Amino acid sequence: MARGRFILLEGCDRAGKSTQCAKLVAALQDKGHAVELCKFPDRTTTIGQMIHAYLTNAKELDDKAIHLLFSANRWEAMQQMKRKLRAGTHLIVDRYAYSGVAFSTAKGLDLTWCKNPDRGLVRPDLTFFLDLPTVEAEKRGGFGEERYENRELQEKVREVFLQLKSKEWVMIDARHSVPTMHHEILKVTEDKIREGERDAEFAEED
Ligand code: NYM
Ligand code: MG
């Protein structure tokens, strides 16, 4: 059986990641795939609750301490994510280590220092970047409710994301409509899943 694919959606706040993740999970399920959604930060764990308190301004934390908590929140999910991938379940992931590095570096922390705690995490097989100009993000509902949701920081975050971008990233123009983006994301994801299934068949023939 083919290992599940790890599909990541990244981007600034209000780019539409959560909407697209939900639509992608539903579409793949409809087509009979085993698929699950993962979201970072995962606010349901003990570490996640600390992160939530920080993001909602209920708690102050040192910039490095919160950076490490975001990373720990990924590490605590690792065994389960690996188990699911091995069992052939595809994971659709809403934010991951790129968000960790982009936000903390934008706040002024050193880029290399920020990357270090995430070294060794399972790697995505496919990364989409939903790119939205900050002025557009600001117009969308809810912007400004949580920490980090202000123009200056978001602009810096977007710059760091674009600095982190590799040629494998699939760039999605997040000014496009929800169905247009979904169509593109689904198509590229299905190609990636098919590629994984083909690789597994060849491996069995060896
Ligand atoms: N965020 C998210 C970080 O600063 N570091 C991280 O490692 C992750 C995963 O948390 N503004 C920031 C980005 C968001 C905020 O995310 C909450 P969301 O997707 O709005 O729940
Ligand atoms: Mg948010």
State the complex-level ipTM: 0.98
The 10 Å CB-count burial string (b at 16+, else e) for 103-115 is bbbbbeeeeeebb
Helix (H, G, I), strand (E, B) or coil at 11: strand
Is the sign of the CA dihedral 30, 12, 121, 125 positive or negative?
A: positive
Angle, to 10 degrees, between the axis of helix 178-205 and the axis of helix 17-30?
Answer: 50
Residue ranges lining ligand 1, Cβ < 6 Å: 13, 40-41, 55, 70, 95, 99-100, 103, 148
pLDDT of residue 206: 67
State which H helix or E strand residue 185 sits in.
helix 178-205
pLDDT higher than 90, residue 100:
yes
pLDDT tens string 47-65: 999 999 999 999 999 999 9
What spacing in Å lies between the alpha carbon of 147 and ligand 2's midpoint?
Answer: 9
On the question of pLDDT at 28 being above 90, the answer is yes
Q: Is 15 helix (H, G, I), strand (E, B) or coil?
A: coil
Q: What is the pLDDT of residues 173-191, one digit of tens each?
A: 999 999 999 999 999 999 9
Whether the model clears a pTM of 0.95, i.e. scores above it, the answer is: yes
Neighbours of ion ligand 2 (CB under 5 A): 13
Quickly count: other Cβ atoms within 10 Å of residue 12's Cβ: 26
Q: Which atom of ligand 1 is nearest to the CA of 104?
A: 4
Residue 204 has pLDDT above 90, yes or no: no
